[in-house]
Amino acid sequence: MSHQVFASSAGADSAALDARVAELLGRMTTAEKIGQMSQVNAGDAVIPDHLREDIKAGKVGSVLNQVNVDTVNKLQRIAVEESRLGIPLLVGRDVIHGFNTILPIPLGQAATWNPELVRKGARVAATEAASAGINWTFAPMIDITRDPRWGRIAESPGEDPYLASVLGAAMVEGFQGTDLTQPGTIAACAKHFAGYGASESGKDYNTTNIPQNELRNVYLPPFKAAVDAGVATLMASFSDLDGVPATGNRFLMRQVLREEWGFGGFVVSDWASIEQLTIHGFSANKRDAAYEAVTAGVNMEMASTTYRDHLKELLDSGRIDMALIDEMVAGILQLKFRLGLFENPYTRLSDFPPIANEDHLAIAERAALESIVMLENRNDTLPLKKDKLDSLAIIGPLADDPYEQLGTWIFDGKTELSRTPLQAITGMLGDAVKINHVRAMETSRSPYSDTFEEARQAAAASDAVVVFLGEEAILSGEAHSRANIDLPGDQAELVRLLKETGKPVIAVIMAGRPLTLANIVDNVDAMLFAWHPGSMGGQAIAKVLFGAHSPSGKLPVTFPRMVGQVPIYYAHKNTGKPATAKTYLNIDDIPVRMPQTSAGMVSTHMDAGITPQYPFGYGLSYTRFSYADISVSNEQVPMGGRLTIAAVVTNAGDVAADEIAQLYVRDLVGNVTRPVRELKGFTRLHLQPGESRQVSFELDTSDLAFYGRQMQLMTEPGEFHAWIGGSSEASLQTGFTIVDE
């Protein structure tokens, strides 16, 4: 992982910056300092009088949700030219997976396993957003989650700390570049700190239950990686962590973030999350809520006004002192200096390329292409061959919907840029193939209706059927959790009817989360999981369907067979009674009155099997990759030393394609129990038919460190297993031992 440090955070630059901050702080009144700590919604078309007056009076440090560049410039002008100290504004916005040009949802981007592409995607988003005057995005969202019921899994990089760390850091680098004063770079915000993805039962905003060991080994590493990548800000989570809501959590924001990691940026609350400390039952009133948040280290309050209303009172009563306020404000001013806002507060369109230009659309298309995961392909149903088709049925509620393919969190996405699958396939096939298009369902949630019969007839009259299924954008995202993650409505029945025609049925699923697909999997010949693929999703899907690109995405999250298996993830612990295919007994095979002790006695569900529907890291290709000759550079590795684990990957099929080779490691015995496998490296490679290449992964023994019983980060001597392959179920194995010398 490459690490980037702000140019201005080193040596002389840093001292000069500190001096500027100190000088400005020295001229500020208490009210002006508190003003810098307040972020206000400014999404109205016309600037309201109260906002104008507040900015003039120095009562606003940041606005969010204003995306009209003229209005943003007007707001900056009020701050810079009409307020006493002329401090410019931070202008925030949720630029999550694109601005006008929309990339795949972050979970889809994670399926690319391509940090370089993710970095480029974030730069596209930053450039377009910056041209609207935005200088701060509330992204990347790097909450690990192992619960597909949680709607916000769509925004997350999935279940794995290592993959999330690499991709989160890439997003930070993409948004921020190496110099925040440059047009097209904006400050990033790693969120939600921390543990939000563990919301119980996948219900949004719910309580979490995360032992500190799990917090440090699983949930915190992506944030540490974002901090190491130079992320400018973090956002405190809405959630409660071990009885202390994250927004008032000193352990998180003081001990871990600042003391242990040395974070020098600032923390913003989530929307009204300080005020909500009273609703959590953590603070008796809003004054106490402000006290808890500010002492915990939340520099800026989003949307609610407890800081504005109560910090002065807290100072006057001596509960907090000015040094704390100065510390909080310094972080905010520092970012404003780093962004070059004092020198250059206004946005000039001439500094930017046109939005949604060819390059941006090409990156969006590439990201969509690489995000598509092929889950099934029986009898090489795919790719479809244009010259072998006279007619093609295109069915389903998501085949031609420019809005829904964009996914959640796309406030500024332009549907007119969307290329739908129907448009793209029609464009690609021209007049040569007759398209029989039937939407069949009004929405993804519609029940069986007469239009199903129309769809069946269209399928019967065609050489092949592509059915576009899934969830609309609104079924995932914030506050949009589901308890049942089957395809909604009667989609499974639609698939059954299509299958009855005997024609090859190809399902393309667009969704914001893993779905339970057991009720369609036997009725499809091939299945692509396209997430919500963004503006160019249709084009990417068409290219994959017709073989212009071999699918190469790999799952960044485990797909369960049934929702009762959740949480199900590859990096689980072994337990004292692990299940194996041999010991597993299916509920249907258990005779009544069988003695209790002979029925398996292993850790499993009797009715779900021991495996997921599709494992983490899984994804098929139009070719076949084989792995061989795994080797380890040194079987005995001294503590503090390095080793290389390598294997040879061969494209054993007849199509050129990308493969994502993955390295997994298991630490056999630990001071605390260790996962059965952990991802420690991956690489995307392109191989021609018949071509072989060696992939090698270098590890330092510190890459194998984990937090032990005393919450100390440590690598232990002992035996390790390692696997290289194309999914978390890779079977090509080697091993090594770390020795204490």
Site residues, ligand NOJ (CB under 6 A): 94, 138, 191, 270-271, 478
User: What is the distance in angstroms between the CA of the first residue and the CA of the last residue of the chain?
Assistant: 28
For ligand NOJ, the closer CB: 276 or 651:
276
Q: Which candidate in 270, 288, 412, 667 is catalytic?
A: 270
Q: Backbone phi, then psi, for 102, in 5-degree steps? A: -105, 130
Distance CA 284, CA 436 (A): 63
Residue nearest to ligand NOJ (CB): 138
Other CB atoms within a 10 A radius of the CB of residue 635 amount to 12
Whole-number minimum distance, CB 235 to ligand NOJ, in Å?
A: 6
For ligand NOJ, the closer CB: 270 or 716:
270
Yes or no: say if 132 and 69 are a contact pair by the CB < 8 Å rule.
yes
Q: Backbone phi, then psi, for 492, in 5-degree steps? A: -65, -35
For ligand NOJ, the closer CB: 142 or 368:
142
For ligand NOJ, the closer CB: 270 or 401:
270
For ligand NOJ, the closer CB: 270 or 472:
270
Distance CA 408, CA 413 (A): 10
DSSP 679-725: EEEEEEEEE-TT-EEEEEEEEEGGGG-EE-TTS-EE---EEEEEEEE
Distance CA 168, CA 188 (A): 10
Torsion of CA 320, 322, 324, 329, to 10 degrees: 130
Whole-number minimum distance, CB 300 to ligand NOJ, in Å?
A: 12
Reduced to 3 states, what is the DSSP secondary structure of residue 288? Answer: helix
Whole-number minimum distance, CB 136 to ligand NOJ, in Å?
A: 11
Distance CA 61, CA 329 (A): 9
Whole-number minimum distance, CB 271 to ligand NOJ, in Å?
A: 4
Yes or no: say if 78 and 97 are a contact pair by the CB < 8 Å rule.
no
For ligand NOJ, the closer CB: 138 or 723:
138
For ligand NOJ, the closer CB: 138 or 531:
138
**Rg of the chain over all Cα atoms, to the nearest angstrom:** 27
For ligand NOJ, the closer CB: 134 or 459:
134
Whole-number minimum distance, CB 98 to ligand NOJ, in Å?
A: 15
Whole-number minimum distance, CB 93 to ligand NOJ, in Å?
A: 8
For ligand NOJ, the closer CB: 304 or 727:
304
Yes or no: say if 568 and 146 are a contact pair by the CB < 8 Å rule.
yes
Closest by Cα among 550, 161, 98 to 360: 98
Q: At a CB cut-off of 8 Å and minimum separation 6, what does 233 contact?
A: 136, 187, 188, 189, 190, 265, 266, 267, 268, 335
Yes or no: say if 499 and 524 are a contact pair by the CB < 8 Å rule.
yes
For ligand NOJ, the closer CB: 269 or 516:
269
Distance CA 400, CA 423 (A): 7
Q: At a CB cut-off of 8 Å and minimum separation 6, what does 710 contact?
A: none
For ligand NOJ, the closer CB: 234 or 356:
234
Reduced to 3 states, what is the DSSP secondary structure of residue 586? Answer: coil
> Is 270 assigned a catalytic role?
yes
Distance CA 622, CA 544 (A): 10
Reduced to 3 states, what is the DSSP secondary structure of residue 669? Answer: coil
Cross-sheet strand order for the sheet of 505-510: 373-377, 526-529, 505-510, 464-470, 391-395, 434-438
Element (H, E) at 660: strand 657-667
Q: Is 439 exposed, middle or buried (0-12, 13-18, 19+ CB in 10 A)?
A: buried
DSSP 603: B
Whole-number minimum distance, CB 478 to ligand NOJ, in Å?
A: 6
Whole-number minimum distance, CB 191 to ligand NOJ, in Å?
A: 6
Full 3-state SS string of 326-337: HHHHHHHHHHHH
Whole-number minimum distance, CB 205 to ligand NOJ, in Å?
A: 9
Whole-number minimum distance, CB 571 to ligand NOJ, in Å?
A: 26
Whole-number minimum distance, CB 146 to ligand NOJ, in Å?
A: 19
Yes or no: say if 576 and 682 are a contact pair by the CB < 8 Å rule.
no
Where are the alpha helices (H) located in 44-160, listed in sequence order?
A: 49-56, 69-77, 106-110, 115-130
Residues marked as catalytic:
270
